[in-house]
């Protein structure tokens, strides 16, 4: 079980790690002015160059990147943050740990936020929208950016599963006010664990840096003002930075390989009765890491999933709000029982099973076939790999066709 980046690990990453080990440079900072720039520093600058973002900050996880983004943008207790009901639990956890209130919204057939439902959920307490680029494909960023601007809201991109993706020729993570990326084992590029934060505003970047490193100014060029926020230690380790840097330098090869493999798989499967493919908001901008099939009914999807030895997306672990007991167990707005409320910032938000009927229906009818992310927990335990040969692709495609036809014949 792994993501595409893991399968591309090789001599390039080893060489960068060994360079750090040869000089025992294990921390991102260089206190010797003669020393070469750190791997983490170089990673940040090269990611800025690639994406066009003014600022990149390397941290120890995408969860930390999301939390840091919320802090940097001033999201805090009592603020409402709109987030899709289909996302990894970390997107919601970061909001909760800021004392803010997650407001769950519906997805559409792209498996990302439905802009129309977002508009319906905006209140005077709304401070931000979190757009999650699920399964490697972009949310409808033009509409979401317009909604955020019209209502004076921050827009944060959770691009954990979509590093290297684009939306209409703009890098994901640079369309919103901040973007968060994951480097864990199941992602497009990996350093084992780690995350990247992109952020546009200079002042917000200073706050982000201070929060991720004990209140210091960027690159520790002095201590932040006395009235600045208390910082934490969310820094990326130098060896993680070395692996991530090696991966970033081969991301075009990774994405190109995934595109080729997904194209071959789609062509081998062909048209299927009663099945459509997930709508992708920018077909050229996705990461090509999944092929999502959507069925006419929940029953058909579950039957096909069973024949393939996989599951529908509604059963994909803590990526579906209905599988998050931390969320659903808190139903009374008291300080002792509800993590999104306290006496100073009460809320009457409730989180119930089946509270997002459209999301439930879409996920119940959808199956994700892996093109590079082999992860049963996210619902992609069946499929191909980045280096699957043509005969393996044909076998997987044949299994999909056979399962769909078998289920169709029983109707």
HEC string of 91-152 equals HHHHHHHCCCEEEEECECCCCCECHHHHHHCCCCCEEEEEEECHHHCCCCHHHHHHHHHHCC
Residue 332 has pLDDT above 70, yes or no: no
**Domain, as residue range, for 86:** 4-251
Domain end (from 251, 285, 302):
251
pLDDT value at residue 328: 81
Spatial CA neighbour of 20 closest among 37, 44, 45: 37
264, 234: one domain: no
Residue 274 has pLDDT above 80, yes or no: yes
Calculate what percentage of the chain has a pLDDT beyond 90. 84
Whole-angstrom distance, CA of residue 199 vs CA of residue 175: 10
Residue 18 has pLDDT above 80, yes or no: yes
pLDDT value at residue 374: 94
235, 297: one domain: no
15, 56: one domain: yes
187, 203, 260, 262: the catalytic one is 187
176, 262: one domain: no
213, 256: one domain: no
Whole-angstrom distance, CA of residue 195 vs CA of residue 182: 5
Our count of domains for the chain comes to 2
237, 257: one domain: no
Per the listing, tokens 């590029």 go with 189
Split at pLDDT 50, 70, 90, the class of 227 is low
180, 217: one domain: yes
Q: Any residues with CB less than 8 A from the CB of 270 and at least 6 apart, and which?
A: 397, 401
Task: Report the chain's C-alpha Rg in angstroms.
Answer: 21
198, 325: one domain: no
Calculate what percentage of the chain has a pLDDT beyond 70. 93
46-63 pLDDT, tens digit per residue, is 999 999 999 999 999 999
pLDDT value at residue 336: 44
pLDDT value at residue 277: 97
| Choice among 95-99, 245-249, 290-294, 361-365 with the minimum mean pLDDT | 95-99
216, 138: one domain: yes
Whole-angstrom distance, CA of residue 269 vs CA of residue 302: 19
For residue 187, indicate whether it is catalytic: yes
pLDDT value at residue 341: 57
Give the helix ranges, DSSP H, for 227-308: 238-248, 251-269, 298-308
Token output for 360: 């439930």
Residue 344 has pLDDT above 70, yes or no: no
Domain end (from 212, 230, 251):
251
210, 355: one domain: no
Strand 178-182 relative to strand 290-295: parallel, antiparallel, unpaired?
Answer: unpaired
pLDDT value at residue 81: 97
Residue 331 has pLDDT above 80, yes or no: no
Which CATH number goes with the domain that contains 69? 3.40.640.10
52, 186: one domain: yes
Give me the phi and psi of 155, to 5 degrees please.
-120, 120
Whole-angstrom distance, CA of residue 361 vs CA of residue 364: 5
Give me the phi and psi of 195, to 5 degrees please.
-155, 165
For the chain, the farthest-separated pair of C-alpha atoms sits apart, in whole angstroms, at: 73
Domain end (from 208, 223, 251):
251
93, 186: one domain: yes
pLDDT, mean over the chain? 93
CA 260-263-266 angle, to 5 degrees, is 150
Split at pLDDT 50, 70, 90, the class of 337 is very low
């Amino acid at each position: 079980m792994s993501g595409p980046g893991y399968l591309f690990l090789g001599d390039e990453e080893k060489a960068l790690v060994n360079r750090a080990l040869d000089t025992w440079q294990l921390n991102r900072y260089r206190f010797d002015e003669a020393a070469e720039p750190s791997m983490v520093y170089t990673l940040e600058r090269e990611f800025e160059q690639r994406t066009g973002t003014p600022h990149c900050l390397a941290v120890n996880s995408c969860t930390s990147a999301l939390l840091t983004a919320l802090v940097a943008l001033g999201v805090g207790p009592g603020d409402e943050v709109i987030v899709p009901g289909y996302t990894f639990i970390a997107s919601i956890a970061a909001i909760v740990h800021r004392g803010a209130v997650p407001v769950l919204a519906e997805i559409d057939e792209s498996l990302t936020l439905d802009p129309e439902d977002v508009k319906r959920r905006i209140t005077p307490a709304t401070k931000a929208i979190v757009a999650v680029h699920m399964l490697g494909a972009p949310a409808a960023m033009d509409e979401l950016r317009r909604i955020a601007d019209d209502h004076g809201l921050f827009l944060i991109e959770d691009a954990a599963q979509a590093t290297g993706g684009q939306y209409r020729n703009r890098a994901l993570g640079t369309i919103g006010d901040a973007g968060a990326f994951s480097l864990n084992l199941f992602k497009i590029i990996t350093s084992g664990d780690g995350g990247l934060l992109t952020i546009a505003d200079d002042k917000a970047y200073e706050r982000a840096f201070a929060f991720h490193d004990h209140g210091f100014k960027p690159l520790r060029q002095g201590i932040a003002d006395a009235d600045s926020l208390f910082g934490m230690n969310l820094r990326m380790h130098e060896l993680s930075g070395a692996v991530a840097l090696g991966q970033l330098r081969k991301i075009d090869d990774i994405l190109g390989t995934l595109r080729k493999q997904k194209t071959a798989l789609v062509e081998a499967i062909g048209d299927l009765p009663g099945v459509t493919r997930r709508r992708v908001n920018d077909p050229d901008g996705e990461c090509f890491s999944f092929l999502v099939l959507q069925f006419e009914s929940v029953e058909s999807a579950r039957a096909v999933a069973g024949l393939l030895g996989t599951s529908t997306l509604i059963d994909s672990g803590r990526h579906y709000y209905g599988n998050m007991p931390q969320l659903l167990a808190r139903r009374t707005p008291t300080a002792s029982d509800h993590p999104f409320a306290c006496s100073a910032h009460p809320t009457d938000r409730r989180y119930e099973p089946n509270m997002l009927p459209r999301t439930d229906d879409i996920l119940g009818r959808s199956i994700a076939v892996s093109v590079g992310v082999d992860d049963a927990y996210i619902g992609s335990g069946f499929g191909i790999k980045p280096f699957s040969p043509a005969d393996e692709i044909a076998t997987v495609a044949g299994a999909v066709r056979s399962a769909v036809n078998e289920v169709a014949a029983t109707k």
